[in-house]
A and B are shown apart, each in its own frame.
Chain A
Amino acid sequence: MKSGYTMTPEDSILQSVTKTGTACYVFVCALLVLTGEFLYAWYIQLTNGLVVTGMRSIYNAPNYMGPYIAGGSPWGIYITNFIFWIGISHAGIAISASVRLMDLKKYKVVARMAEVLTLVALPMAGLSIVFDQGRPDRIINLLVYGRFQSPMLWDLTAITTYFMGTIVYLYLSLRGDIDELARKLPNREWFYKRLAMNYQGTESEKERHNQTLWWLALAIVPIMVTVHSVVSFVFGLMIARSAWYSTIFAIYFVVGAIVSGVAAVYSLAWIFRWLYKWESLITDEVLKGISWALRNVLIIYIYLWIAEELTTRYMGSSADLRVSDYLWFGPYAPIFWTLAIVGFGIPAIILLKPIFGKRHFNPALTFAASIILNVALWVKRFTIVVPSLLNPPLYQTGVYIPTPTEISIMLGTFWLATLLYIAFIKLFPIIDLDVVKG
């Protein structure tokens, strides 16, 4: 930058589109290599079948008395990943819709980051299901023969609705900025002009956009709640599996999703602020507001978790207690207690600290808490999915160890999501230009 040149707020926002440093190229190249490794792992799985994963319906385990049949886990890290990505997608439009519906102008600065997060996360959730299928080449059967009694079809319907709603919502909120970009970046004018689809930018047109977005936001909030409730029904309606059949599951999943989504938006806001020196745009006040929301939903989530554990420990069925014992005192105890203390306890303390005084809010520390929370929520979903399957009522306890192939495929969704997010910020501003226009 030339000395003496002061960057306008608009230019500052457009840095993410117009400037690409060496570090970004290196990062993208690394992601491409990792994506290549993921695609190879998926190729291995497709050509050899799900036998290359650690997932099994039953598990033939020899012991000193000869071979015996134990429970395996037919669902593993792919389904965990599916729930995780659906959760991440939650906050995206939820935050954006809340900003619009409740007129929270201060948070408009993070609205688009959140919307894009939803757009990127939902396909990753869908992909996780595709990975879990033995014959993904038959996926079209869902649209041809789908049974309405199956929560799988409810999932497809709810996720499709949410995804399409997100695309429409994002386009409408972005259209004005696309038109602006057509004027500001002449070398890409052909692309933006076509995408803006004859946007005039008149006051009446802006008014129509705002009205439509308000109604769309109103429609999207219940859709968002539906999506994660439906995900929970895949588990909560299954009486044959221990520790799943529960009335609390829908709200438990929805609140968990909001925690992971809000944590992800905080992480993104902090990263963008740090990368582009956007302290004047994403102020401490904004970060603090998001962290307050995160703290409140986290407390509700911990409360629901305790209520669920207490009910099982106090008067659970023997099958439920078997799963609970497996988690509390069995092979999964190190995971369970680390999750409770490090995964949720420490972030809760960090997030509760600012209650005792303004000076206690530390954006960087809260960023660490948001990252820990998302890792913890991934593991939490794992402890919901796998232990119940490993302890089936008819067999002895089994074993599930994800294979390197499986882990590579699961991680692939993270590389892909990051690549897609970077592609978006290289094409469109990640902060609504209206924020600086007033």
Chain B
Amino acid sequence: MVNKRTAAVLVVGFLVLISGLSLWVLGDQTDSVVSLPLASTGVLWAPFLWVCGIIVLLSAAFANILHVKHYFLWLVSLVVGYLVIFGIIIVVTGILIP
């Protein structure tokens, strides 16, 4: 039986995921900007939004188990930790690449 808190987190995660995908589709300009493939999405960070949605969805497993304070600590750690990995790669390689 899924309890209310878990269900609420699942719904929020799903909405964030769908929002990310929808924003990407809405901003997609692939047809008009074929020569600039990297600029094909009009809404920046849309992929990150759906990644966040996935993280929230998976963290629903904690919702019924951890105290609210600990739950948010985990959630923030997962999102921030994910970005930190990218940050470290960008900073370190950015310094070294001439």
Contacts and interface: CB of A to CB of B under 8 A. Distances in A.
Do A and B originate from a single complex?
yes
Interface of A: 43, 46-47, 126, 130, 135-149, 153, 156-157, 160-161, 164-165, 167-169, 171-172, 197-198, 205, 208-209, 212-213, 215-216
Interface of B: 21, 24-25, 28, 30, 37-41, 44-48, 50-51, 54-55, 58-59, 61-62, 64-67, 70, 73-74, 78, 82, 85-86, 89-90, 93-94, 96-98
Given A137-B90, A215-B61, A146 B47 contact: yes
Contacts of B64: 208, 212
A251 B86 CA distance: 31
13 contacts: A130-B93, A135-B93, A135-B97, A136-B90, A140-B90, A143-B45, A146-B41, A156-B51, A168-B61, A172-B61, A172-B65, A205-B65, A213-B61
B47 A156 contact: yes
Contact of B54 (A126, A136, A141, A160): A160
Given A46-B96, A47-B98, A168-B61, A139 B89 contact: yes
A139 B64 CA distance: 35
A161 B58 contact: yes
A145 B44 contact: yes
Contacts of B65: 172, 205, 208-209, 212
Nearest to A153: B47
Nearest to A197: B70
Contacts of B48: 143-144
A164 B78 contact: yes
A164 B38 contact: no
A144 B47 contact: yes
A149 B61 contact: no
Contacts of B58: 161, 164-165, 168, 216
A144 B48 CA distance: 7
B36 to A, nearest CB: 10
Nearest to B50: A157
B24 A145 contact: no
Nearest to A158: B54
Given A47-B98, A168-B59, A198 B78 contact: no
A157 B40 CA distance: 18
A147 B61 contact: no
Contacts of B78: 164, 167
Given A137-B89, A145-B40, A145-B41, 11 more contacts: A47-B97, A136-B97, A137-B90, A139-B86, A143-B47, A146-B46, A147-B41, A149-B30, A156-B51, A161-B58, A168-B58
A197 B66 CA distance: 7
Contacts of B66: 197-198
Contacts of B44: 144-145
Of the candidates B58, B59, B61, B86, the one having the most CB atoms from chain A within 10 angstroms of its own CB is B58
A436 to B, nearest CB: 24
A145 B97 contact: no
Nearest to A149: B30
A144 B30 contact: no
A160 B61 contact: no
Contacts of B94: 137
Contact of B93 (A126, A136, A143): A136
A141 B89 CA distance: 13
Contacts of A215: 61
A156 B40 CA distance: 18
Nearest to B64: A208
Nearest to B48: A143
Nearest to A127: B89
A157 B98 contact: no
